[in-house]
Amino acid sequence: MNRREVKSLTDIYAGCTLELDGDNEPMLIKAFDSLDAAREELKRCRAQIDKFNGGYSVADVYIEENTYDEDGELVECGSVWDFAPIVIELVEKPSYDTLAIFDNGADAQKAFDEYDGDGEVFISFQ
């Protein structure tokens, strides 16, 4: 898992936290003996997005093939195999119906900007 702060909703997409400047050491959540087992566990995860003054905090959860030494210290980062889904909803008030679900911020922002219904809409992160 990696966490990154971004300024715009349009900067949120699967893998956006991997584009950090400088050293980037992922946080190990759990280790698996097989890719299949890791993918099964990833199905229960989602990226976490929190809004704060001036931007968003994004935590990507993903499967990465890494090498660790005998002390459990990261030696080498390998390939990223898969990402937990990003779930961004466009919700209409006052009904609170979900109008659409997006896997990236750019598409969600576009739908928000182009909304022309009777109610008011907002973006929700699940």
One domain for residues 74 and 92: no
One domain for residues 93 and 74: no
Strands 48-52 vs 55-60: parallel, antiparallel or unpaired: antiparallel
Residue 115: domain span: 88-125
71-108, pLDDT tens digit by residue?
978 788 788 999 999 999 999 999 999 999 999 999 99
* 112-to-3, 30, 53 alpha-carbon distances in Å: 25, 36, 19
For residue 104, the 8-state DSSP code is S
One domain for residues 70 and 108: no
One domain for residues 22 and 57: yes
One domain for residues 62 and 107: no
One domain for residues 62 and 99: no
For the chain, how many structural domains are there in total? 2
26 pLDDT more than 80: no
pTM of the model: 0.83
Task: Lowest mean pLDDT of 12-21, 45-54, 116-125, name the range.
Answer: 12-21
One domain for residues 110 and 58: no
Task: Give the per-residue pLDDT at 75.
Answer: 85
One domain for residues 55 and 104: no
One domain for residues 6 and 28: yes
Confidence grade of residue 121 (pLDDT, cut at 50, 70, 90) = very high
65 pLDDT more than 90: no
Instruction: Give the HSE-up count for residue 122: Cα atoms under 13 Å, Cβ half-sphere.
Output: 7
One domain for residues 112 and 99: yes
